[in-house]
Chain A
């Protein structure tokens, strides 16, 4: 269970997150949508302390953090309990696919090398890359890299995996394989918070869809409700725009 209360983030004069309240149940799959520049990435990055929030509290299981007073130890603890999947994969270029996944277990969790490799291999199998264990990122396709990226997040055995537009940088041909790995994770009830423009994925997989605009959560609900009968005019106009775009590219 994750509780976010009154999370605020400013960049200079602009308030990018304007008091976000969010509860995430264990095993819940949440998709976040909204216009560009609304603070979706910033929300995810604050939950992982890649950005230092300016106000608010964060509760992850038994860990409670007042973000303005977070100690170094607390920041590390939050990061260790939230995993991040990046839009541009951000794999470690000097590590093989297997090492990218095992790295966290060895360095952060201090597992013995062998034990870490066993789990990393299992994870590679689950993301369908058992045969590329010894490949370095440069020799993997975008889709394969992102699947390693997801594997790296899986290894964290975190309370939640944060996905920031995991398929946006991919050539269209690789989107499907990445989404299908994410669907498998969702079926296993891995808690996920996903920022994406893939409305099909949101509709099929999400328990709840959150619409954000200008640093606030405007509206949220099950996908059927949010997509079919959005209440807020901003949600309606956003959905009309993306759904017609999706229709144009033949989704």
Chain B
């Protein structure tokens, strides 16, 4: 079969895999930051904090309502023209920033739904023993919400790994950027992109498997 140059593909795998750490690092950093931000946004929405609630709704609406690619271009190419301190920002940072803001908007909504799903009487019980709102959130509500939201958040993490490929449009040589370079050197575009697709697919399948294990564990939680 000579449609595919297998030897080339096999040789390409280790080359591309050497860029995988950067891809995963961007996704991990984006995920960690997005989680923190999403929790904050969700708590603001649930407690309906004055003023902040309005801003949060606007924020969520904007970041869910515009394409991630547009947001990335806005941060990397657009904003530095207006805000000079952003000119120093590199493609990697801009990608992480974009992923954080974009995904936090989605994640905030699933965390909020999870929080609302928790029986209101537990909140009252926590208040009745004299907990502050912060203690109530940290000790009672968020741990339970995290378990409810975990499968969904895991899906967002998988989406985020795939979305890191957009970093290549900001000149970052990650998995996708590296493939593009290799392909334009060898002209074996088909082989190169099939290879990178298989790599993404493999990672996602691995994570999906982990997710199923996690879900199984979570279903067992609080049953003793």
Contact = CB atoms under 8 A, between A and B. Distances in A.
A201 interface: no
Nearest to B135: A107
B140 A108 contact: no
A95 B124 CA distance: 16
A63 interface: no
Contacts of A103: 129, 139
A136 B122 contact: no
Contacts of B129: 79-80, 83-84, 103-104, 108, 152, 156
A91 interface: yes
A22 interface: no
Given A92-B140, A136-B224, A76 B125 contact: no
Nearest to B124: A50
A91 B223 contact: no
Contacts of B126: 92
Contact of B140 (A86, A94, A134, A138): A94
Interface size class of A (residues with CB under 8 A): 20 to 34
A136 B222 contact: yes
Interface string A62-82: 000000000000001101101
A90 B119 contact: yes
Interface in B109-148: 118-119, 121-122, 124-132, 135, 139-140, 143-144, 147
B223 A139 contact: yes
Contacts of A93: 118-119, 122, 144, 222
A96 interface: yes
A143 B223 CA distance: 17
A83 B119 CA distance: 19
- Report which residue of A77, A94, A103, A136 has the largest number of chain B beta carbons within 10 angstroms of its beta carbon: A94
Interface string B173-196: 000000000000000000000000
Interface in A155-177: 156
A36 to B, nearest CB: 19
A76 B132 contact: yes
Given A93-B144, A94-B144, A108 B224 contact: no
Contact of B139 (A82, A107, A139): A107
Given A92-B140, A107-B135, A135 B121 contact: no
A125 B4 CA distance: 73
Contact of B122 (A50, A80, A90, A96): A90
B146 to A, nearest CB: 9
A48 interface: yes
A214 B182 CA distance: 81
A50 B223 contact: no
B127 A79 contact: yes
A90 B139 CA distance: 15
B148 to A, nearest CB: 11
Nearest to B138: A107
A94 B222 contact: yes
B125 A86 contact: yes
A156 B131 CA distance: 12
Interface in A7-42: none
Contacts of B125: 84, 86, 90-92, 152
Contacts of A86: 121, 124-125, 128
B138 to A, nearest CB: 9
Interface in A92-147: 92-96, 103-104, 107-108, 134-139
Contacts of A50: 124, 127-128
Contacts of A139: 223-224
Given A80-B130, A90-B124, A93-B144, 11 more contacts: A83-B128, A84-B125, A90-B121, A90-B122, A92-B122, A94-B140, A94-B222, A96-B224, A104-B131, A136-B222, A138-B222
Interface of B: 118-119, 121-122, 124-132, 135, 139-140, 143-144, 147, 222-224
